[in-house]
Amino acid sequence: MASRPSLLKLPPFPPEQEALRSEWRNLCFALERLQADALLANCRDKYEFAKSYSVFGAGFDELYEELTRRAGAGDFEFFVDRGMAESLMTFPLVERMLADWFGAIASKKSRLEEAFSIRYGEDIDEFLANPRHAAKLAAVAPLDSADALLKMPPLVSH
């Protein structure tokens, strides 16, 4: 995994880019929160719950690498497809937007960890790591196949 920049050292963006970033952050947190709400409302099986939880954030490091590589080449399609103005996109903005999205995923996972603990009286990470559960986890399908933002259909056509 490539090292991510320290976001604490970066200067603020111009107002238009900060507004776009705020819109992105709101989108990320809203979609990821809705996905957690749906899991909490619709899942009663702890294996299905744990399997769904394990999908969230999976592959983010590889996606981060791909999207920053593409942004470095001026390709902002992923963000434009999700309603972001291409004219305002820059490489540093993409890095911060990805950090915001990762924060939304982490927030969703934290909420689900707590819910699992309350519902089932177990730590979800320990549950997933326990070899006794491996066969049953392998047999069950997750309720979701990816994080909410990845499942969002493009808002623009190419």
Retrieve residue 25's tokens: 């952050």
**Cβ(94)–Cβ(71) under 8 Å?**
yes
Using one digit for the tens of pLDDT, what is the confidence trace for 55-70? 999 999 999 999 999 9
H-state helical runs in 11-90: 15-42, 46-55, 60-72, 77-80
Which pLDDT tens digit goes with each residue over 131-153? 999 999 999 999 999 999 999 88
Q: Which whole number is the average pLDDT over 3-20? A: 77
The reported pTM is 0.90
The closest alpha carbon to 45, from 141, 152, 151, 149, belongs to 141
For residues 39 and 49, the answer to whether their CB atoms sit within 8 Å is yes
Nearest to 50 by CA among 146, 135, 127: 127
